[in-house]
Structure 1
Amino acid sequence: MNRRTAREKAFQVLFQMDINAVDPSEALEHVLEKPVQDSFLRELVFGVNEKKSSIDQQIADHLQNWSLNRLASVEKTVLRIATYELLYNDEVPTGVAINEAVELAHKFGDEKSGKFINGVLSKMLK
């Protein structure tokens, strides 16, 4: 599985976890048609889950005129994945993490999601 596909699957898993309050293993089972042992996918899912409180704090610190609770689940999930990659994964270049987050937002969010995600992540980098 390539990294873009892994990010999309991670998004689906983390989105399901956010909506239904299920554990990562159970959410992975529901999203994947068959068992997949992709290390990058697992790192994103379990890493975001493990670091969720510090990731959410980092996101909240960079929101302007918004609170984390007001964010739609799509944007919140995309920001969590990107923030995890920016803070905790040295293998992913900053530009790639942001571009991939914007692409996820375009795919799963509305027409304004990509701009919003880009703005929040850009503030994080300053």
Structure 2
Amino acid sequence: MTTQFNQRRECRSAAFQYLYAWSVNQPANLAGDLVLFFEHLEQPRDYYAFAEELIHGTIEHAKELDEHIKGLAHNWEFDRIARIDLAILRLAMFEMLHRKDIPPVVSINEAIDLSKQYSSADSKRFINGILDRMKDKLGRDSRKPSNE
């Protein structure tokens, strides 16, 4: 269990890093860019299969995720959200909305941990607030995976 937990945490970190870079400079060829990205990581590419699922899903649903973020970021202009925080929010929100096998509180906790590691001290409260509002709108148990 711990091994899978650690691997998923490493995958989320890798996915976040890629999504941050993607938000700054979107490549013309996503597949080729991912090959280059995964070549520079510690483990072989197949180790990061979960990261790749998260990357593809988040990018595919980016517009939808951004609309949710805009609606939940009370008193905050979307364009003022730091790109690091936006990458974390998109990743966690993709999990919460499209990965029913992951309990929403896990996605929130992982997002807060990413913000502690990569963003400013104030970011964790901002990220937690937005994701907590999203969790309340999901209509499912936030501590359990969903079988839907």
TM-score, normalization by structure 1: 0.92
Question: Match for residue 62 of structure 2?
Answer: 52
Partner of 2:22: 17
Q: Extract unaligned runs of 5+ from structure 2.
A: 1-5, 137-148
Confirm whether residue 100 of structure 1 aligns to residue 110 of structure 2: yes
**Cα distance 1:108–1:26, how it changes in 2: closer, same or farther (>3 A)?**
farther
1:31 aligned partner, one-letter code: F
Whose Rg is larger? 2
TM-score by length of 2: 0.79
* Letter of the 1:36 counterpart: R
- Total equivalences in the alignment: 126
Q: Name the structure 2 match of 1:79.
A: 89
* Equivalent AA in structure 1 for residue 59 of structure 2: N
| Partner SS, residue 2 of structure 1 | helix
Q: Mean Cα displacement is larger for which, 63-72 or 26-35?
A: 26-35
Cα distance in 1, alignment partners of residues 20 and 32 from structure 2: 13
Moved over 3 A (4+): none
Rounded to whole Å, the distance in 2 between the matches of 1:72 and 1:21 is: 17
RMSD (CA atoms): 1.5
Query: Partner of 1:65 in structure 2?
Result: 75
Aligned-pair CA distance for 1:104: 0.5
Name the structure 2 match of 1:29.
35
What is the deviation of 1:91?
1.1
